[in-house]
């Protein structure tokens, strides 16, 4: 694979691009998880749970 990357520099660029995209997706998932957790805590603190339907994603 190393030789292939050396012979085709665009492969290395694509790999770097893929790594950046993967990191962005991971960060987005972490943010969503944090916001979801905060929302659940706020619902429990304000006793809104009996009035709201909150579906937990898998």
CB contact at 8 A, 3 and 11: no
CB contact at 8 A, 27 and 33: no
pLDDT for res 21:
97
- The series of mean pLDDT values per 10 residues for the chain, 58 residues long, is 74 91 97 91 76 62
pLDDT for res 52:
62
pLDDT for res 25:
97
CB contact at 8 A, 43 and 54: yes
Alpha carbons 26 and 4: distance in angstroms, whole number: 28
pLDDT for res 10:
82
């Amino acid at each position: 694979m190393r030789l292939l990357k050396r012979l085709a520099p665009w492969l290395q660029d694509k790999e770097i691009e893929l790594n950046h995209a993967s990191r962005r997706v991971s960060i987005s998932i972490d943010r969503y998880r944090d916001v979801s957790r905060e929302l659940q805590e706020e619902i429990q603190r304000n006793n809104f749970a009996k009035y709201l339907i909150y579906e937990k994603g898998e």
